[in-house]
Structure 1
Amino acid sequence: MLKNIISYGFTLAFLQLLIACGPAPEAEQAVQEDVETVLAETDGDQTAEAKEAEILIVAFGDSLYAGYGLDQKEGFAPELQAALTAEGKDVRVHNAGVSGDTTAAGLRRMDFVLDSLSRKPDLVILGLGGNDMLRGLKPSDSRANMEAMVKKLKDRGIPVMLTGMLAPPNLGADFGKEFNMIYPALAQKYDVALYPFFMDGVVGHPDLFLPDGLHPTAKGIDIIVGKIAPQVVEVLES
């Protein structure tokens, strides 16, 4: 798995640019959505569709999962659902992405989100840590929070797929080494699937980002989904 992380090294220079353009903690806090409000607004339709679908996937992450700045059907969750449906899967992808979420915030809301669903998911795709990195939070704390979430899902008998992030070089070699190993280490320890770098295919291509320089455009999401969907299919069929 370490080789997978190293193979993404070319992306770090552009990630450094993203850090320079990243929002301050106060700005991130200002855009964080209230979880109960998000669920109240979306859960009705999603729950109804989930009951009809053979497979229920939860996409649990931050703004990259939530579809920040995009139309409702252009985000990661709906595009992944469309891609899996095209592969012949009777699937519903529940959007549990919340803009601004850190790993700590995700851990606090995980039980609430899972308990609000109509049934146990067949898979949770877990992608948090980007905001921890942008804020320079301790990788050891991020890892502890991610591990606690993986444990929660394993204890509930829910399969997990992690989508990783990478730290930019301006945060230091020690930080980068410790942060970058969070995802492969947890995947190996708990025997869960790993997609090493969520932003693979879009980093290094400014035209695939919104004007904020942080969030992918609809075309960028299409590229991300095109790379992730085949591995999701493998996980579902394993």
Structure 2
Amino acid sequence: MKRQFGPLMAIIFACAAALALVAPGSARAQGAPQKDPVRLVALGDSLTAGYGLPQGAAFPNVLEQALKAKGYNVQVANAGVSGDTASGGLDRLDWSIPDGTDGVIVELGANDMLRGLDPAIPRKAVETIVERLQARNIPVMLVGMLASRNLGPEYAEKFDSLYQDIAEKHGLVLYPFFLDGVAGDTSLNLPDGLHPTAKGIEIIVGRILPTVEKFLATLPQR
């Protein structure tokens, strides 16, 4: 014998079916929009730009992928320009770092060193970049470089120390040497011996990742 349901029961069943479509845990039930991603900019030279690498293999791209794989909602914009000195990065700072940027990773100075410029020049330029970003309330992570030892111990001491000095003075998260684990390894560099291969970039990202995570932890909560 068929069970008969009155109009009231029909309404109850319809409501239950509607609620099932928005069960707890579903995006619709939560009703909370996704938070905007943390917007980082990597400001640098050819090491950031991805000189000689396939599309998508540059440092900012690989770093973004690695952070996302660890659950971070981030975007890492590539503001690298091949051949840029620290002064060149300073010259284009305002249009390279748009409003709304949550943090900047600064990687500059290698070309100053390769040209044998007085270390006082990149020191002043890098520090000015930091000061101008901090004046805009944009946190900075500083990435260092080491001088080629054939430039002599006095030059190396002056150049190498500029990153540590600036980081300490301005309270920055510092990664001391961008090419750590890659410099001097022919299998991880392009034939010019200066620029990492795609595999080299992967190693760089793997090594720098904990420091970037430390930097992210310092950013203001939105």
TM-score scaled by structure 1? 0.75
Aligned identity (percent) is 52
Structure 1 stretches of 4+ with a deviation exceeding 3 A read: none
1:220 partnered with 2:200: yes
Which residue matches 1:190?
Answer: 170
Which residue matches 2:86?
Answer: 103
- Of the structure 1 ranges 191-200 and 202-211, higher mean CA displacement relative to structure 2 is found in 202-211
Task: Report SS of the residue matched to 2:210.
Answer: helix
Task: Give the 5 Å matches for 1:1-238.
Answer: 53-114=36-97, 117=98, 119-238=99-218
Partners of 1:59 and 1:65 within 8 A in 2: yes
Deviations 1:51-97 (A, max 9, x none): x8420000000000000011121010100000000110111000000
Give unmatched runs, 5+ long, in structure 2: 1-34
CA RMSD after TM alignment = 1.4
Which residue matches 1:4?
Answer: none
Bigger Rg over Cα: 2
Deviations 1:152-195 (A, max 9, x none): 11101111111100112211111111101010000000000100
TM-score scaled by structure 2? 0.81
Task: Report SS of the residue matched to 1:93.
Answer: strand
Q: Which structure has greater helix proportion?
A: 1
Greater relative contact order, per chain length (Cα 8 Å cut-off, separation 6+): 1
